[in-house]
């Protein structure tokens, strides 16, 4: 995993495979907007694929994930004037049925 910001917390529920990552993108960071937070999901853990969401306090995030592979990439769409908290959630699609 690579985080384009500063990690605040991370949790993985072994029984449900639910994953949650919280991190902060610092204000006016020198990180390139093309820098991604990368999370590797184990396809065997998510047999029907995974649902990925990424929410920011302000602005928006772009998620690249094909629904069944192992790499999730999350990009910010802009440079933020203030620190922005981002919450990423990954859940098993089979739990949505």
- DSSP string spanning 28-71? T-SS-TT--EEEE--TTTSTT-EEEEEEESSS-EEEE--SSSSE
Say yes or no to pLDDT of 96 above 60: no
| Helix (H/G/I), strand (E/B), else coil: 5 | coil
Q: What is the pLDDT of residue 81?
A: 74
Q: Please classify residue 70 by burial: count the beta carbons closer than 10 Å to its beta carbon, then call 0-12 exposed, 13-18 middle and 19+ buried.
A: middle
Asked whether the predicted pLDDT for residue 95 surpasses 60, the reply is no
- The per-residue pLDDT for 62 is 93
**For domain 6-96, is the CATH number 2.40.50?**
no
């Amino acid at each position: 995993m690579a985080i384009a910001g500063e990690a605040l917390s991370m949790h993985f529920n072994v029984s449900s495979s639910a994953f949650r990552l919280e991190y902060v993108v610092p204000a006016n960071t020198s990180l390139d907007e093309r820098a991604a937070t990368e999370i590797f999901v184990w396809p065997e853990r998510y047999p029907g694929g995974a649902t990925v969401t990424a929410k920011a306090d302000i602005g928006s995030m772009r998620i690249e994930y094909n629904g069944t592979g192992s790499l999730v990439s999350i990009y910010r769409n802009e440079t933020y004037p203030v620190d922005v908290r981002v919450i990423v959630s990954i859940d098993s699609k089979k739990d949505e049925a």
